[in-house]
Amino acid sequence: MTVLLAFDLLLAASIVGLAAATLLMRDAFAMIVAFIVFGMLLALGWARLVAPDVALAEVAIGAGLSGALLLRTLAHLRGGGLSAQGGASVSAPTNGATQGINALLAGLATCALGLAYLGAPQNVPGLEAHVTDAMPESGVTHPVTAVLLNFRAYDTLMEVVVLLAAVIVVWQVERGLAETPAPALGTVYQGFARVALPVAVIAGGYLLWIGAEAPGGAFQAGAVLGAVAVLGLLSRHVRPAPAHRPLARGTFVAGTAIFALVALGVSGAGRETFEYPPAHAKTLILLIEAMVTVSIAATLAALFHGREPVTVATGKETT
């Protein structure tokens, strides 16, 4: 126990240290790498707290996809290569005094929060009992999935809406002007991609399926599939073109639409919205998960790609 506790302490310290390191890194690339490592350690910590679903999500999305997005942006900011120094500034750097005050205040706030945290009762019974009670009616056996797609399905729907909103905004913001092409992978990687892609697809499907009973589920699966798409983009296997737009739009909204339609569709006749008929609960949840997974994958890929495919005047390529 004590060894584990020591490990926990060490891990927690590493997490905090990496967080600090992330902020202190001079170089933007190093900063992003530190952030990704931070995410990995964080996932480890969450695994220690018996939260494998979260850990998975963090690795796949929090660290992985976010890291990829950051790197891609950095590449853009540096005009294609990752070696150049810099990164755009928001404003003039603040002076030492202000920084000191900021640090002091943030530290004070953290201390106050820490005190409050320590003052809070430990082990207050949460909702686990309710969850356990309601599990049989949820249609799935994995509690996290049950919470995500049944008990708090509304939140999840809105989460998908957030994703949808994100992709809409990203498409709206970026429209392919003065564009540096995404870094292409070498041929070796292309070969790797050829092998890796089918595997990843299968892994994603498995994650989706297993989500009903064990850690895994739509988001993780979507993240894996999204990674597949990202690989596809990087390896130029997938080349978004204006012609793809309707399809892309359809894919983005499919998850949200199906989710919401199901939610509404099951209502009536004494049932509330989102109240799946117990008999069809598993089917409906799977259906939703499947659609959401596809949408998430497409959305994440699109977020990575970062712009609506439009015809640009250069005519070289629809990027």
Partner 1 sequence: MPGLALLAAIGTPLGLALLLALPAARGLVWRALSFAPLPALALALFGTVPFTVSNDWLILGSVLGLDATARLFLIPAALVWTAAAAAARVWMAGDRRATGFGLCFLFAMTGNLGLFLADDAPTFYAFFALMSFSSYGLVLHARSEEALGAARLYIAFVLAGELALFAGLGLAVGETGSLMLADIADTALSVPTVALLLAGFGVKLGVMPLHFWLPPAHGAAPVPASAVLSGAMIKAGLFGIVATLPLGEAAYADLGVVVTAAGMVTIFAALLMGARETAPKTVLGFSSVSQMGIVALGIGAALMAPGAWGAVLPVLAFLAAHHALAKAGLFLGAGAFAVQHSPAARMAVTVALVLPALILAGMPLLSGALGKEALKTALGAGPAVWLPWITLALMLSGVATTLLMARFLVQLWRKRPAAPAGVESDGLVIPFVLLALAAAALPAIWPTVAGSAAQPIAEAAPGTPWPLVAGALIATAAAVASHTSRVGWSAVLSTLTAPAERAAARVGDALVRRRRALSRKARALPPALDGWIAEHRLGQTGIAALLVAVLVIGGAQHVAPTDPIAPPAAEQNGP
Partner 2 sequence: MTDVMPDPLTLAILLPLFGAIAAFLLPRAAPAIGLGAVVATAAAIAVLGHLVVQAGTIFVPLGGWGAPLGIELRADGLALAMLGLTALIALGVGLGALAAFAGETEVGGQPMARQRAFFWPLCLLLLTGMNGVYLSNDLFNLYVMLEVISLAAVGLAVLGGTVAALRAGLAYMYASLLGALMMLLGVGFVYLQTGRLDLAGLAGAPDSAALSAAFGLMLVGLALKTALFPLHFWLPEAHANATAPASALLSALVVKAGLYILLRLAEAGPFPGEAILTLMGVLGTGAVLWGGVQALRAERLKLLVAWSTVAQMGLIFVALARAGLEGLSDSWRAAALLILAHAVAKAGMFLAAGRIKDVIGHDRISELDRSAVRPALAQLAFALAAISLIGLPPSLGFIGKWSLMEGAMMAGNWHWVAVTMAGTLLSVAYFTRALTGFLRFDRVRAPLDEHRGWALADAPPVVLAGLAVGLGLAAGPILAVLDLGTPFGAIP
Partner 3 sequence: MIALSQATIYGLAGLAVFGLGLMGVLGAAERLRRLIALNLCAAGAGMVLIAAAWRSPPAVPDPVPHALVITGIVVMVSATAVALALIRRLHSLETDTDD
Chain residues in the site for partner 1 (CB under 8 A): 91-92, 94-95, 97-98, 101-102, 105-106, 108-109, 112-113, 115-116, 119, 121, 124-125, 130
Site for partner 3 in 194-213 (CB under 8 A): none
Taking the complex as a whole, the smallest distance from the CB of residue 116 to partner 2 amounts, in Å, to 3
178 sits near partner 2 (criterion: CB under 8 A)? no
What span, in angstroms and rounded, lies between the C-alpha atoms of 151 and 131?
8
Taking the complex as a whole, the smallest distance from the CB of residue 201 to partner 3 amounts, in Å, to 21
Taking the complex as a whole, the smallest distance from the CB of residue 65 to partner 3 amounts, in Å, to 6
What are the residues whose beta carbons fall under 8 Å from the beta carbon of 216, sequence distance 6 or more? 53, 56, 142, 206, 207, 208, 209, 210
159 sits near partner 2 (criterion: CB under 8 A)? yes
What span, in angstroms and rounded, lies between the C-alpha atoms of 215 and 218?
10
Q: What is the dihedral of CA 134, 137, 141, 146, to 10 degrees?
A: -70
230 binds, among partner 2, partner 3, partner 1, none (CB under 5 to 8 A by kind): none
Pattern of binders to partner 2 over 230-249, x per CB under 8 A? ----------------x--x
Taking the complex as a whole, the smallest distance from the CB of residue 132 to partner 1 amounts, in Å, to 12
8 Å CB contact between 45 and 279: no
Q: Angle between the 28-48 and 2-24 helix axes, to the nearest 10 degrees? A: 160
Pick from 139, 140, 144, 233: which binds partner 3 (CB under 8 A)?
144
162 sits near partner 2 (criterion: CB under 8 A)? yes
Pattern of binders to partner 3 over 217-256, x per CB under 8 A? --x-------------------------------------
Q: DSSP secondary-structure letter at 280?
A: G
8 Å CB contact between 302 and 167: yes
Pick from 29, 35, 38, 171: which binds partner 2 (CB under 8 A)?
171
273 binds, among partner 1, partner 2, partner 3, none (CB under 5 to 8 A by kind): partner 2
Token pair, residue 281, equals 């609960």
- 156-187 b/e (C-beta count within 10 Å ≥ 16 → b): bbebbeebbeebeebbeeeebeebeebeebee
Pick from 83, 97, 128, 188: which binds partner 3 (CB under 8 A)?
128
Pattern of binders to partner 2 over 104-133, x per CB under 8 A? --------xx-xxx-xxx--xxxx--xx--
136 sits near partner 3 (criterion: CB under 8 A)? no
Token pair, residue 315, equals 């005519």
Token pair, residue 196, equals 């890796």
How far lies 102's CA from each of 94, 109, 249, in Å? 10, 10, 43
30 sits near partner 3 (criterion: CB under 8 A)? no
Token pair, residue 16, equals 């905090």
